[in-house]
């Protein structure tokens, strides 16, 4: 394969991928110039083809496809669960300048800042705050739980994007049941083995809009992908 890195005024660097067919396997490398936007468009074309025209809800489909694009995992076509009004409630919050709260710096870094600015939204991750670490050590609980408590003080509508810590979901459930908060949306997609499926199930039983990845799969990248999909739809 021949690869060339080029720069054009105003476009930045991108790669030329020159096509050829590998024999005898028959793999094809795409021969046209692949800018990032071209690569993304081609990726979504492949995703749509491999999904085989499955009849997704029109509002849920962009979220499902964005997560598959991020993970290359088609299981998300089946394990992403949406409350009945999750998308419409989320879009209303975003258009009203909601705050996005994540449970990791990684998720925060993966959310499109230009799209946030366009909607007048703010984003926060309190995990690295000194007062959060101090309180967690004092009470013997996770920083994720304490960061959710801190987020409960935000006055604006809040969308919680949890991709790592099930203890964040458990704390949100406690705060909601005590009447301390009423989130605009909870994105519950922590990954792992301990309290992961249980915390997701608890969120889905609340009378709060949610997008949840059933089972053990998820991650900060999934949380960011869902937020980005919603921002692009708003």
Active site residues: 69
In angstroms, rounded to a whole number, what is the distance separating the alpha carbons of residues 16 and 3? 6
In DSSP terms, which residues pair with 12 in a beta bridge? 8
Q: How far apart are CA 1 and CA 106, in angstroms?
A: 33
Give me the residues paired with residue 35 across strands: none
Q: Is the dihedral of CA 106, 35, 73, 173 positive or negative?
A: positive
Q: What is the DSSP letter of 98?
A: P
Please check whether residue 158 is in contact with residue 183, taking contact to mean a CB–CB distance below 8 angstroms: yes
Distance CA 215, CA 196 (A): 7
């Amino acid at each position: 394969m021949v690869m060339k890195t080029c720069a054009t005024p105003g476009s930045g660097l991108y790669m030329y991928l020159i096509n050829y067919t590998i024999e005898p396997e028959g793999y094809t490398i795409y021969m046209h110039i692949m800018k990032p936007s071209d690569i993304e468009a081609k990726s979504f074309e492949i995703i749509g083809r491999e999904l085989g025209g499955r009849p997704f809800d029109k509002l849920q489909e962009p979220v499902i496809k964005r997560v598959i694009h991020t993970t290359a995992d088609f299981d998300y076509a089946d394990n992403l669960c949406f409350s009945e009004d999750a998308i419409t409630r989320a879009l209303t919050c975003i258009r009203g300048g909601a705050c996005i709260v994540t449970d990791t710096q990684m998720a925060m870094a993966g959310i499109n800042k230009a799209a946030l600015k366009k909607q007048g939204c703010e984003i926060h991750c309190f995990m690295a705050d000194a007062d959060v670490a101090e309180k967690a050590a004092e009470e013997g609980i996770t920083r994720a739980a304490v960061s959710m408590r801190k987020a409960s003080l935000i006055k604006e509508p809040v969308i919680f994007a949890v991709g790592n810590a099930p203890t964040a979901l458990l704390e949100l459930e406690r705060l909601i049941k005590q009447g301390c908060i009423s989130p605009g949306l909870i994105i519950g997609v922590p990954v792992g083995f301990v309290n992961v499926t249980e915390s997701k199930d608890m969120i889905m039983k609340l009378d709060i809009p949610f997008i949840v990845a059933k089972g053990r799969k998820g991650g900060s990248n999934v949380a960011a992908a869902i937020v980005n999909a919603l921002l692009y739809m708003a």
